[in-house]
Homo-oligomer: A and B are copies of this chain.
Amino acid sequence: MLSRPPVDEKRAAMRVVIVGGGFGGLALARRLRRAPLEVVLLDRRNFHLFQPLLYQVATGGLSAASVCTPLRYVFRGAKNVHVWLAKAVGLDPRARRLQLADGEIAYDLLVVAAGSRPHFFGHSPWAQVALPLKTVEDAAAIRSRVLAAFEQAEREHDPEQLRALMTFAIVGGGPTGVELAGALAEVARYTLRREFRRIEPSLARILLLEMAARILPGMPPTLSARAERTLRRLGVEVLTNTQVVEVSPAGLRVRRGVLEEELACGNVLWAAGVEAVPFVRAVARATGAATDRWGRILVNPDLTVPGFPEIFVLGDAAATRDENGQLLPAVAPVAVQQGRYVSQLIRARLRGKPHPPFRYRDWGYLATVGRHEAVGTLFGWKLWGWPAWLLWALVHLAKIVGFANRLLVLLQWAWAYLTFGRTARVMVEWQPAPSSEGNS
């Protein structure tokens, strides 16, 4: 029904087109409100997703709506910011035109903040079996899968099938995997207690697999050790030095040292890393930019594409080096700081002023381990236990976009903590009747 619109010509003011309304794109667009510019913010979805709390949606602790803020709502008062539901597919850097799935748009400045997608290390068939955690649909799919596994187990008579159904493997021992493992253990051990008559959910086997020698390899070793102890106490089996070599509906085959081992498992959750989305690769091809091994564009110190000072790349789409030459990780604080930096750079350019290169300030990072504890660093200090968790909660509450969302999250957290309950347990399935037509 949708006809192909003509090329969108620019208006008089300078136009900045931002591809992506995630952490980076949103931070940038917010700082460009009331600037003497036309800002067009494009996203394939109509909302900004607060990804750090997605693992709670996946384990039923929060509703999906809590972590999504409609982009139009954020910018409703900003007359110079236009929000478009659109998908960017390509680029013509000479003509300064961005190609969309259903049209084109001309730009003066382009900001690629298109984010990332889950990375299966080249084994795309694994995506049919393993469930990633990047979008709200991913979170809902994981939640459905986990609940369906217990529901199927309740009616399963074959002991082997039962064991496989009640085995959950999380691949990836970084913060996402650790948070998911801890939350899943809480659901199995506490939330679902008393609700089944045949199975004992607390007997579920939860495995956390990490290729490196320790989980949370980006944190100091003592914090990795603390997190591992907490996870074991929650009943999670932590398998380090473990690489996944095959994923199938029957389970995983893993390599530990020189030995390979089969793990029968009906539920594989994928938290093992991200790579650039296809649009970012298209930008790299169109501009001849080099990329790192995850497809992220290697940018100049001022976040521009080499040879194209009017094109910026930030967030998960960019490979940025810090002052030690190390690549910055694909995390939210980096994207937010880069978004703000680019807004300052653009404003400086408008005034004809120079601007220093981007410099990331690492305030630290926190990850929860279960519902009471967290580990992390803050300004260089190591934190753990209950105080770390409280800090994590306050920081994340403060950073959620939108007062309504903040209140909604706070209330759901309060409820969960008062009642041990996890209220958001709707099993939303894309196929009809997740009951009995086989595995999802």
- Taking beta carbons and an 8 Å cutoff, which residues of A are in contact with B? 1-3, 5-6, 43-47, 63-66, 68, 70, 72-73, 75-77, 79, 82-87, 100-103, 136-137, 140, 147-148, 151-152, 154-158, 161, 164-165, 192, 194-197, 249-250, 266, 404-405, 407-408, 411, 415, 419, 421, 423-428, 430, 432-439
Chain B nearest CB, measured from A82 CB (Å)? 5
Alpha-carbon gap, A45 to B83, bound state (A)? 37
A87 CB contacts on chain B under 8 angstroms: 433, 435-437
Chain B nearest CB, measured from A139 CB (Å)? 11
Chain B nearest CB, measured from A263 CB (Å)? 15
A432 CB contacts on chain B under 8 angstroms: 44
Alpha-carbon gap, A151 to B21, bound state (A)? 15
Chain B nearest CB, measured from A402 CB (Å)? 8
Q: Is the CB of B151 within 8 A of A435?
A: no
Question: Contact check: which of B86, B426, B433 meets A65 at CB < 8 Å?
Answer: B426
Question: Contact check: which of B102, B156, B249 meets A3 at CB < 8 Å?
Answer: B156
Chain B nearest CB, measured from A21 CB (Å)? 12
Q: How many copies does the complex hold?
A: 2
Q: Is the CB of B1 within 8 A of A266?
A: yes
With A2-B152, A157-B6, A161-B1 as contacts: A86 and B435 at CB distance below 8 Å: yes
Identify the closest chain B residue to A75 (Cβ): B195
Alpha-carbon gap, A6 to B158, bound state (A)? 10
Alpha-carbon gap, A157 to B102, bound state (A)? 12
Identify the closest chain B residue to A411 (Cβ): B411
Alpha-carbon gap, A333 to B104, bound state (A)? 54
